[in-house]
Amino acid sequence: MRPDPPPSCAMTSFACYPSLADRSVLVTGGATGIGASMVEAFAAQGARVGFVDIDTVAGQTLAQRLAGMRNAPVFVQADVTDIAGLETAIDSLRMHCGPFAALLNNAANDVRHRLDDTTPEMWDAGVAVNLRHQFFAARHVARDMQGLGGGSIVNFGSISWMLKQGGMPAYTASKAAVQGLTRCLARDLGPFQIRVNTLVPGWVMTEKQQRLWVDTQALADIARGQCINRPLQPEHIARMALFLAADDSAMCTAQDFVVDGGWT
């Protein structure tokens, strides 16, 4: 029998996923923005959520805010570009949450940079924060999933490269590569019943985006580009993440799931 949905899930008008109750879920970059929305959404489903972020204050604040959930989310500070440190953080979270059945590879940094200003060091740093850690986090938790008899890895892409957006080539190149990584991992991990998909957000109106990048021109571009002219919010991405981590998407793998209001 499936467990009853937690009260925090049953009280919403959105889907409850019984398979997520007590499922161990790892979110990278989980302290703010899309990541924080996912931490909250999975906790509301009764999942055992562990999350990492470089921002210690924001991570601790979120964990404290959600401490009253059925399974209180657990935060460990980590810089995802430090692979050894990331793996150590995952091991620490596993001690609290149990073997991970779902991974949300969300951490990224869309810092803008001009071609002429881009040094080799800047390029490598961009790849490290936007692509490299997704592979190593997936490899590290895939061992958990093999032991569990299956799991779900959700890598995070972006529509930016699809729109031929300039001004951040390390970011757009990395996000394009994520979709290739997903398809390769889906083939390699499929025999172990591990699904690997790419969740591709549009321009999500996080606090950071609105503070740094969203101006009058950007709003005009969004209105012109999206078929549905409404602000794309972090919770819209989180709801797709719930589906991809739940058993409802059991035969979905090696696919791109775009949530962008119809821009691409």
Q: What is the pLDDT of residues 90-110, one digit of tens each?
A: 999 999 999 999 999 999 999
Q: What confidence category does residue 123 fall into, taking pLDDT thresholds of 50, 70 and 90?
A: very high
Mean pLDDT of the chain: 96
Q: What confidence category does residue 1 fall into, taking pLDDT thresholds of 50, 70 and 90?
A: low
Residue 26 forms part of a structural domain: yes
81: CATH: 3.40.50.720
Name the residue with higher pLDDT: 2 or 118.
118
Residue 220 forms part of a structural domain: no
DSSP string, 195-220: EEEEEEE--B--HHHHHHT--HHHHH
Q: Does position 225 have pLDDT exceeding 90, yes or no? A: yes
Residue-range definition of the domain harbouring residue 163? 18-206+234-254
Q: Tell me the pLDDT tens digit for each residue of 31-62.
A: 999 999 999 999 999 999 999 999 999 999 99
Start-to-end C-alpha separation, the chain: 41
* H helix runs in the chain, sequence order: 7-10, 33-44, 56-65, 83-97, 120-127, 133-148, 169-189, 207-212, 216-225, 234-245
Q: What confidence category does residue 8 fall into, taking pLDDT thresholds of 50, 70 and 90?
A: confident
Residue 4 forms part of a structural domain: no
The one catalytic residue in 171, 203, 243, 257 is: 171
Residue 61 forms part of a structural domain: yes
Residue 242 forms part of a structural domain: yes
Distance between CA atoms of residues 250 and 257, nearest Å: 14
Q: Tell me the pLDDT tens digit for each residue of 195-211.
A: 999 999 999 999 998 99
Amino acid (1-letter code) at residue 247 = D
The arithmetic mean of pLDDT across residues 17-30, rounded, is 98
Q: What confidence category does residue 10 fall into, taking pLDDT thresholds of 50, 70 and 90?
A: low
Q: Tell me the pLDDT tens digit for each residue of 148-188.
A: 999 999 999 999 999 999 999 999 999 999 999 999 999 99
Q: How many structural domains are present in the chain?
A: 1
Residue 219 forms part of a structural domain: no
Give pLDDT, residue 72: 98
Residue 188 forms part of a structural domain: yes
Instruction: Please give the model's pTM, rounded to 2 decimal places.
Output: 0.96
Residue 215 forms part of a structural domain: no
Active site residue 171: yes
